[in-house]
Amino acid sequence: MSEEIRNENGELEVKPQESKNFIEREIDKDLKEGVYDHVHTRFPPEPNGYLHIGHAKSIILNSGIAKEYGGKFNLRFDDTNPMKEKTEFVDAIKRDVEWLGAEFENRVFFASDYFDVMYEKAVLLINKGLAFVDDLTAEQITEYRGDFTTPGKESPNRNRSIEENLKLFRDMKDGKYADGTLTLRAKIDMASPNLNMRDPIIYRVAHMHHHNTGDKWCIYPMYDFAHPIEDAVEGITHSICTLEFEDHRPLYDWVVKHCDFENPPRQIEFAKLYLTNVVTGKRYIKKLVEDGVVDGWDDPRLVTIAALRRRGYTPDSIRTFVELSGISKANSSSDYSLLEYCIREDLKLKDKRMMAVIDPVKLIIDNYPEGQTEMLEVPNNLENDELGSRQVPFSRELYIERDDFMIDPPKKYKRLYVGNEVRLMSAYFVKAESYETDAEGNVTVVHCTYDPETKSGSGFTGRKVKGTIHWVNAPTAGQVTVRLYEQLIDEEKGKLNDDGTLNFNPNSLVTVTNCMVEPELMDVKPYDSFQFVRNGFFCVDSKDSTEGHPVFNRVVGLKSSFKLPEQGK
Ligand code: ATP
Ligand code: MG
């Protein structure tokens, strides 16, 4: 982006400008016009489930803006609905927000701490003649509301006296009315084209126990009344939320105005993040967890923040993803492969590149001295010298990948087949001589010979080979479990089945229990991540790994799905 300006001599100059998103431009305008002299944002999750990648976008956006403008950022639990909330979720949310690197310091708040303020503000509205107690049933209220084409009809209780309203509201609070009997409604405009402004309910009777306030309250505020008050009480300047609240903004503004808040907050909406091939939406994820389709809220196939962390995603990769997917006013879906691209880019230079054989077959080097083991120096990451190198044992018996040897290779196959020579990565050239099979014809052992002259790093230039394969020394190999993932939902075939259920991909999880790895991979801790050469990036599972038996989750494969498939396979 650029801006055209005239310099002192009156000449036109083009000045490059940082590209800001539309929210930042609105904030700049507010600061310039003196509407606010600082910036204060918040992230207001309802503690009724785990956070997902969409919430990550909101967290990164809100905390990022606070940081950029030298302002503050609050984490506020929107716990005004006692029905669905659990402390398990409060703890999980805190952990996830912290993990993403959002700095809220000690600024953690609970909306339920403001129930007294909300009650007082409701009384204030009654005193101003702007709220009334109604005894219409829920069905009647809906019927009276009208719709987009029919104006609403005023409730017969709309003109109750202030005294009567005050008394009834107090009685509601004191438990004199049963659930679903009376409501408190804002008195706004039953003819408004915006249905949210047609005398919305702001309090309901609900005899429910609340995790924070216990049995103190038997009336609870509605979201549209509670949320603007929460923002205002905390001194939030910019209340950034998603598009579905756009139609609620006039009500938000009405509440903060008539509740007499000085310097009231301002709501700005942006489009939700949607991702292809995955389930976002707390309700849907919750159902997968409750139906046992996945192994808990942090099943690595989900896109909850806890699942992404367990899978091996990093906060940096998620931040890059959020940046690249952009902030917009228009709904759209981001491609899952963009998220994969971001983690691949993040780990590419950070992770050591190790050798692990996922589908092992024995390779015996017939002319290598029996009983001898040598240590070979293997660079940890050819693209990043800072990661140094390691010593890897090598001997007569190794494991290689089953698909790195073929009995009847196609024309362009460059790896092992009888008579062909390849390089064993960081070791020697080997030439396949023969093979053994089991009763079903599966290859069990490949026999080869090696050429001692061809040792890696020896400067050998005598001849060249076309293929390089990885290997693991058999006598010292560790056996680990690896989990290979595909998308949980197969969108290619349509997200939903004919009966409306989700179209699950039956291959979303493949567990391999006999993956052979080099010794260093046995000495790992949860969340350590590595590149397994040719097989992808893998992260040590934090739940299922046990002493001496790590479980590795594949974070992502090496190749971008945007690229053409490898030739010769
Ligand atoms: P869900 O739609 O998954 O049920 P929610 O909106 O009910 O989520 P809340 O806990 O109410 O979940 O959301 C907290 C904040 O996160 C809200 O400000 C909401 O706008 C924002 N948010 C929720 N989903 C997304 C998303 N997909 N993209 C961006 N922000 C989101
Ligand atoms: Mg919600």
**Which ligand does the CA of 241 lie closest to?**
1
| Best of 242, 244, 305, 339 for a ligand 1 pocket test (most atoms within 8 Å of beta carbon) | 242
Atom of ligand 1 nearest to the CA of 242: 20
How many beta carbons lie within 10 A of that of residue 498, not counting itself? 7
User: Ligand 1: which residue has its CA nearest to atom 21?
Assistant: 55
Taking alpha carbons only, the member of 322, 320, 302 closest to residue 50 is 302
Question: How far, in Å, is the centroid of ligand 2 from the Cα of 22?
Answer: 24
3-state secondary structure of 112: helix
Question: How far, in Å, is the centroid of ligand 1 from the Cα of 241?
Answer: 8
Select 356-470's CATH number: 2.60.15.10, 3.40.50.2030, 3.90.870.10, 2.40.240.10. 2.40.240.10
Question: How far, in Å, is the centroid of ligand 2 from the Cα of 78?
Answer: 9
Render the burial of 41-65: b for 16+ CB within 10 Å, e for the rest.
Answer: bbbbbbbbbbbbbbbbbbbbbbbbb
Q: Which residues surround ligand 2, an ion (CB under 5 A)?
A: 46
User: Ligand 1: which residue has its CA nearest to atom 4?
Assistant: 282
Atom of ligand 1 nearest to the CA of 244: 20
Say which CATH topology domain 36-270 has. Rossmann fold (3.40.50)
Q: CA-to-CA distance for 176 and 163, rounded, in angstroms?
A: 17
Whether residue 280 contacts residue 250, with contact meaning beta carbons closer than 8 Å, is answered with no
Question: How far, in Å, is the centroid of ligand 2 from the Cα of 12?
Answer: 50
Q: What are phi and psi of 256, to 5 degrees?
A: -65, -30
Task: Compute the radius of gyration of the chain from its Cα atoms.
Answer: 32
Render the burial of 220-259: b for 16+ CB within 10 Å, e for the rest.
Answer: bbbbbbbbbbbbbbbbbbbbbbeeebeebbbbbebbbebb
> Which part of the chain has CATH 2.40.240.10?
294-354+478-569, 356-470
Q: CA-to-CA distance for 209 and 535, rounded, in angstroms?
A: 52
Atom of ligand 1 nearest to the CA of 274: 27
What's the count of helices (H) and strands (E) in the chain, helices before strands?
12, 29
For the chain (569 residues), the mean pLDDT of every run of 10, in chain order, is 55 62 97 97 96 97 97 96 82 97 94 98 98 97 94 96 98 97 98 97 96 94 98 98 97 98 96 89 91 94 97 97 92 89 96 98 98 97 97 98 97 96 98 97 97 94 95 98 91 74 87 96 97 97 95 92 38
Q: Which residues line ligand 1 (CB under 6 A)?
A: 44-46, 54-55, 57-58, 241-242, 272-273, 280-283
**Which ligand does the CA of 47 lie closest to?**
1
E-strand stretches of 164-271: 183-186, 201-205, 219-221, 238-242, 266-270
Question: How far, in Å, is the centroid of ligand 1 from the Cα of 79?
Answer: 14
Using CB atoms within 10 A of its CB, is residue 448 exposed (0-12), middle (13-18) or buried (19+)?
buried
Give the pLDDT confidence score for residue 408 in this predicted structure.
Answer: 96
Taking alpha carbons only, the member of 522, 523, 485 closest to residue 504 is 485
Count CA atoms closer than 13 A to 206's CA, side-chain side: 15
Question: How far, in Å, is the centroid of ligand 1 from the Cα of 191?
Answer: 31
Atom of ligand 1 nearest to the CA of 283: 4
Residue 238 pairs with which residues in a beta bridge?
266
How many beta carbons lie within 10 A of that of residue 442, not counting itself? 10
Give the pLDDT confidence score for residue 243 in this predicted structure.
Answer: 97
| Best of 48, 57, 58 for a ligand 1 pocket test (most atoms within 8 Å of beta carbon) | 58
Q: CA-to-CA distance for 425 and 532, rounded, in angstroms?
A: 13
Question: How far, in Å, is the centroid of ligand 1 from the Cα of 77?
Answer: 12
Give the pLDDT confidence score for residue 448 in this predicted structure.
Answer: 98
Question: How far, in Å, is the centroid of ligand 1 from the Cα of 327?
Answer: 15
- In tens, the pLDDT along 33-92 reads 999 999 999 999 999 999 999 999 999 999 999 999 999 999 999 999 887 667 889 999
How many beta carbons lie within 10 A of that of residue 299, not counting itself? 22
> Which part of the chain has CATH 3.40.50.620?
36-270
Q: CA-to-CA distance for 282 and 294, rounded, in angstroms?
A: 14
- In tens, the pLDDT along 445-486 reads 999 999 999 999 999 999 999 999 999 999 999 999 999 999
Beta strands 219-221 and 72-77 are unpaired
**Residue in this structure with the two tokens 């050469």, named with its chain if needed:** 533
Give the pLDDT confidence score for residue 1 in this predicted structure.
Answer: 40
Whether residue 515 contacts residue 525, with contact meaning beta carbons closer than 8 Å, is answered with no
Q: Confirm whether pTM is higher than 0.85.
A: yes
- In tens, the pLDDT along 276-289 reads 888 888 888 999 99
Question: Is 3.30.565.10 the CATH number for 294-354+478-569?
Answer: no
Taking alpha carbons only, the member of 120, 114, 104, 123 closest to residue 80 is 114
